[in-house]
A and B are shown apart, each in its own frame.
Chain A
Amino acid sequence: MTQDDHHRHHHDHGGEHDRHNAPPSDVALRVKAIESLLTEKGLIVPEALDAIIETYENKVGPRNGARVVARAWTDPAYRQRLLENSTAAIAELGYGGVQGEDMVVVENTPDVHNMVVCTLCSCYPWPTLGLPPNWYKSAPYRSRSVIDPRGVLKEFGIEIPETTEVRVWDSNAELRYFVLPMRPAGSEGLDEEQLAELVTRDSMIGTGLPKVPAGRAL
């Protein structure tokens, strides 16, 4: 720690101190302090936090949403239920809970391309897509999606024909949107599991398209 102390001392004057020593070390220390106090008071159990972190890091993620999409592509009755009562239809596959209590699925068609943003912060359907990617929480995406969606889509490498309407859905604390992308051409004959492999995270946010089946170039 001698190195650190030296560095600290060197910069320990006025504003310099804040800039050089606040994040990240003081932030980490602050978090540790709060966790240890809450643990002492019996209000949290560190192992329970470990389990939650492990769940969201490794178990919940866009593969869940991909299964929902693949089911909708193969089962017209399910697709109907998904569009009419999204939360219940998603729960049929076992997904629900925190940040997915009120889901609205919006369907892409040749006439309409949907994309989702949360201009205010980072609202995102955790049970089906996991935690949001960093760009989703960033100022450039939040600010520009609602005024220049086609420009944003171009940055993601997709160009939507002028004849297709682009609809932008601003998620909020009450409603979480989820895009049902169009089933790609050339995917006839694939089973549900194979179809789910084609569904990317970004295709369910609306900033991407599903993958084209291998060996079936358009």
Chain B
Amino acid sequence: MNGIHDMGGMHGWGPIVTDEDERYFHEPWQARVFGLFFGGFAGGHFNVDMLRHEIEKMSPQDYLSTSYYEHWLHAMEALFIADGTLTRAQIEQRMAELKGAH
């Protein structure tokens, strides 16, 4: 499918920024998302193509305003919900509980 992810040939994105911090994960949650991908993959919940397809279905606004591992998170959450493993309500509730615990 075409969409905002199909960036080959677009103009206007400016210079390539290479002199940045080259660590793979800048925040602990990014590493957890990366690990969760393997968990979901190994558990047969989804494959790489399904993950990519979910990312490609993101609205252009969401795609451009969120970071790389947020794309992964968005896709995994959608896939875990789609296969009945999790519900949105469960996730929201657990977030509230974790917030309350702080």
A130-B24, A139-B7 given; name 7 further pairs at CB < 8 Å. A31-B73, A36-B94, A49-B32, A119-B6, A138-B13, A147-B8, A155-B18
Provide 27 A-B residue pairs closer than 8 Å at the C-beta atoms, listed in order of the A residue: A27-B70, A28-B27, A31-B73, A32-B29, A32-B95, A36-B94, A38-B80, A43-B85, A49-B38, A52-B34, A53-B31, A53-B34, A98-B41, A119-B9, A120-B8, A130-B24, A134-B17, A134-B68, A135-B20, A138-B13, A139-B10, A139-B13, A140-B16, A141-B16, A143-B7, A145-B8, A155-B16
Closest Cβ of chain A to B46, distance in Å, is 12
The answer to whether A131 and B24 have CB atoms under 8 Å apart is yes
**Contacting residues of chain A (24-57) with chain B, CB-CB under 8 angstroms:** 24, 26-38, 41, 43-44, 48-50, 52-53, 56-57
The answer to whether B90 and A37 have CB atoms under 8 Å apart is yes
Interface residues on B, range: 35 or more
- How many of chain A's residues have a CB under 8 angstroms from any CB in B? 54
The answer to whether B36 and A28 have CB atoms under 8 Å apart is no
Kindly state whether residue A215 has any CB partner on chain B within 8 Å: no
The answer to whether A173 and B95 have CB atoms under 8 Å apart is no
Q: Closest chain A residue to B48 by CB distance?
A: A173
The answer to whether B95 and A29 have CB atoms under 8 Å apart is yes
Interface residues of A (CB under 8 A from B): 1, 23-24, 26-38, 41, 43-44, 48-50, 52-53, 56-57, 98-99, 117, 119-122, 130-131, 133-135, 137-147, 152, 155-156, 170, 173
Given contact pairs A31-B32, A32-B98, A119-B8, A43 touches B43 in the complex (Cβ within 8 A): yes
Contacts of B25 in A (CB 8 A): 53, 57
The answer to whether A34 and B18 have CB atoms under 8 Å apart is no
Which one of A31, A133, A144, A147 contacts B36 once the chains associate, using CB atoms below 8 Å? A31
The answer to whether A34 and B16 have CB atoms under 8 Å apart is no
| Bound: A167/B26 CA distance, A | 33
Closest Cβ of chain A to B16, distance in Å, is 5
The answer to whether B13 and A33 have CB atoms under 8 Å apart is no
The answer to whether B22 and A1 have CB atoms under 8 Å apart is no
Closest Cβ of chain B to A176, distance in Å, is 12
Contacts of A52 in B (CB 8 A): 34-35, 38
| Bound: A48/B42 CA distance, A | 11
Contacts of B56 in A (CB 8 A): 120
Which one of A29, A56, A156 contacts B34 once the chains associate, using CB atoms below 8 Å? A56
Contacts of B20 in A (CB 8 A): 134-135
| Bound: A138/B56 CA distance, A | 15
